[in-house]
Amino acid sequence: MLPPRTKALRSPALLLALAAACTAKDGPAPSPDIPATQDIQTTDLALDLAALSGTATVVVRPAAGAVTLDVAGLTVTRVTVDGEDAALDIVDGTLSVPADADTVSVAVDYTFPARGPAMFDGWMPALGVSFVWPYACSNLFPCNPSLEDGLVFTMSVSGVDEGLTAIYPSSTHGDGPTYMAAVAVGDYTRLDLGSTSAGTALYAWYLPGTNAAARAARGTAHLVAAFDYFEQTYGAYNFGPEAGTIEVDWGSDSWGGMEHHPYFHVGTFDFDDEEAQVHEAGHGWFGDGVRLACWEDFVLSEGTTTYIAARALEQVDGPSEWAYYVDDFLVPICEGTQPNDPTLVNTIVLPDTCNEIDFENDAVWSLTTYMKGACFYEDVGDLIGPDELDLVIAEFYAAHVGTAARMEDMITLLKARAPSHADAIDALVSDWLLSYACPEDYVERCRSHTP
Ligand SMILES: [Zn+2]
């Protein structure tokens, strides 16, 4: 996820939209009722966007003699278990189905509501896009919103207006977080960007608009090279043989993007921005490829991704992003010059709890986590060498891809692979991740980056 990044422009409408997105209370909170030992393996989503109905076929290992699914935003009409009708046992938005086999297939027929842009959590026909991050999956399909339970999605979408194209993965191939699934519908033109040296084919889909083709070309100028850098440096892409970026219209809030791999979404205003494009691609490795264990580990997704996006762009002769990161975001955060902007409020970015913060309303969900996290890695690179840092990030990815991990695991590995710098790494952890105040010399330390 990349929250709206307003650059030089800032309008009250944009702030209002952001505030609505940040504080929407109509979406379901994560259900505490789903046992951690339950394991969803695959979810097949057949969505009819005209009828606002779907069938989700969930292949799952039950826990405690039942399958438990969050259906809080749905109207469930029928449930079968391995083809046999089951009772509709729904309490407080949670569906329970008795099941004691090792693995069962639970098929749920349901309808889902059309959501408005102000609510921003589910299928939004006015924008032609779905969005269920961080844990609003049950506005679109039966799910477990827990970060721990990764799964493979297969999807099919019908009920699309003639002349429009629905873009979604027929399969996500590897385990990813529940919030990864999405569909975008629009009058799309596809741009073939070419393939990486590992053979991953990359595409861009853009909407009609002024200079749309040129903006798409500008934003994706180094996308194949950066994706190739990720594959060659950090490890194989986990979400199939094809990936791409989809321009999405999020209304007045069309900044940033969302890591819906393999077809990630980038907002119209940022579609010509190389950093936004490579950032969302980078989530294929961190955030999606390696999932978060706790919302408090948000920096493992956003800090790591912000760093590797700048690293990849720099290594493939793209633009340097460090002055942009520091001047546009870190300075207002550290100087407290934008106190009314929730994306630029300072905070400690690595709280020591696990899934105890109210993430949607916590300052951890802000650009502070992105920028302090990126500067942490930048400083570690200065300390141990950026190539050595790449090797540690690659080892971490290999060990955790397809599973959930914690930022603490990354810090432990960094110190294990650079033992002579362990104390200095601890000091950087303290400076950037565990302190409210920014380091005194933060501008110099993070902005003056030497490749
Ligand atoms: Zn992100």
β 189-195/201-206 pair status: antiparallel
| Distance of CA 445 from the midpoint of ligand 1 (Å) | 22
For residues 332-346, give the mean pLDDT. 95
| Distance of CA 288 from the midpoint of ligand 1 (Å) | 10
H or E element, residue 392: helix 386-400
What CATH number does the domain containing 124 carry? Answer: 2.60.40.1730
For residues 78-92, give the mean pLDDT. 97
Higher pLDDT, 68 or 7: 68
Q: What residues does the ion ligand 1 have nearby, CB within 5 Å?
A: 1-2, 302
DSSP lists the bridge partners of residue 257 as 266
Final residue of a structural domain among 250, 284, 318 = 284
Tens digit of each residue's pLDDT (9 = 90 or more) over 90-132: 999 999 999 989 999 999 999 999 999 988 999 999 999 999 9
For residues 248-273, give the mean pLDDT. 96
- C-alpha 302/C-alpha 131 separation (Å) is 18
Collapsed DSSP state (helix, strand, coil) of residue 251: helix
pLDDT at 31: 54
Tens digit of each residue's pLDDT (9 = 90 or more) over 129-150: 999 999 999 999 999 999 999 9
Q: Is 366 left (phi over 0), alpha (psi -120 to 50) or beta?
A: beta
Give pairs for 253-257: CB < 8 Å, separation 24+.
253/4, 253/14, 253/17, 253/18, 253/21, 253/117, 253/120, 255/2, 255/3, 255/4, 255/5, 255/6, 255/14, 256/1, 256/2, 256/3, 256/4, 256/5, 257/1, 257/2
Cβ atoms 21, 253 nearer than 8 A: yes
| Distance of CA 135 from the midpoint of ligand 1 (Å) | 16
Query: 314 and 413 share a domain?
Result: yes
Query: 92 and 142 share a domain?
Result: yes
Final residue of a structural domain among 284, 309, 333 = 284
| Distance of CA 85 from the midpoint of ligand 1 (Å) | 41
DSSP classification of residue 290: B
What CATH number does the domain containing 201 carry? Answer: 3.30.2010.30
Query: Could you list the residue range(s) of the whole structural domain that residue 119 is in?
Result: 39-168
Closest Cα to residue 330, out of 451, 423, 448, 429? 448
Rg (C-alpha) for the chain, rounded Å, is 21
- C-alpha 254/C-alpha 18 separation (Å) is 10
pTM: 0.94
pLDDT at 40: 98
Is residue 376 in a domain?
yes
For residues 288-308, give the mean pLDDT. 98
Is residue 4 in a domain?
no
Which residues are CB-contacts of 270 (< 8 A; sequence separation ≥ 6)?
2, 5, 219, 254, 255, 256, 257, 276
Straight-line distance from the first to the last Cα atom of the chain, in angstroms, rounded to the nearest whole number: 26
Position 426, amino acid: D
Q: How confident is the model at residue 32 (pLDDT cuts 50, 70, 90)?
A: low
| Distance of CA 268 from the midpoint of ligand 1 (Å) | 16
| Distance of CA 36 from the midpoint of ligand 1 (Å) | 26
Query: 276 and 308 share a domain?
Result: no
Q: Is residue 28 over pLDDT 50?
A: no
| Distance of CA 266 from the midpoint of ligand 1 (Å) | 11
Collapsed DSSP state (helix, strand, coil) of residue 5: coil
Tens digit of each residue's pLDDT (9 = 90 or more) over 364-417: 999 999 999 999 999 999 999 999 999 999 999 999 999 999 999 999 999 999
pLDDT at 7: 33
What CATH number does the domain containing 302 carry? Answer: 1.10.390.10
| Distance of CA 164 from the midpoint of ligand 1 (Å) | 28
Phi, psi of 391 (to 5 degrees): -65, -40
Query: 302 and 387 share a domain?
Result: yes
Q: Is residue 12 over pLDDT 60?
A: no
Query: 279 and 299 share a domain?
Result: no
Is residue 339 in a domain?
yes
Q: How confident is the model at residue 33 (pLDDT cuts 50, 70, 90)?
A: confident
Tens digit of each residue's pLDDT (9 = 90 or more) over 421-437: 999 999 999 999 999 99
Query: 269 and 308 share a domain?
Result: no
The token duo for 192 is 């073939």
Is residue 388 in a domain?
yes
Query: 74 and 206 share a domain?
Result: no
Q: Is residue 14 over pLDDT 90?
A: no
Q: How much of the chain exceeds pLDDT 70, in percent?
A: 93
Query: 46 and 122 share a domain?
Result: yes
| Distance of CA 111 from the midpoint of ligand 1 (Å) | 30
* Strand ranges of the sheet holding 94-98, from the earlier edge strand across to the other edge: 66-70, 94-98, 90-91
pLDDT at 450: 75
User: How many degrees, rounded to 5, is the angle at CA 114 between CA 109 and CA 116?
Assistant: 155
pLDDT at 18: 41
Tens digit of each residue's pLDDT (9 = 90 or more) over 155-211: 999 999 999 999 999 999 999 999 999 999 999 999 999 999 999 999 999 999 999
| Distance of CA 284 from the midpoint of ligand 1 (Å) | 10
Is residue 164 in a domain?
yes
Is residue 175 in a domain?
no
Kindly tell me the number of DSSP H helices and DSSP E strands found in the chain. Answer: 12, 20
Query: 329 and 362 share a domain?
Result: yes
Is residue 11 in a domain?
no
Is residue 181 in a domain?
no
Q: Is residue 24 over pLDDT 70?
A: no
pLDDT at 253: 87
What's the chain's length in residues?
Answer: 451
- C-alpha 217/C-alpha 215 separation (Å) is 5
- C-alpha 205/C-alpha 213 separation (Å) is 10
Residue for token digits 């109905």? 53
Chain-centre distance for alpha carbon 323: 24
pLDDT at 160: 98
Higher pLDDT, 9 or 77: 77
Q: How many domains does the chain have?
A: 3
Tens digit of each residue's pLDDT (9 = 90 or more) over 260-270: 999 999 999 99
pLDDT at 9: 29
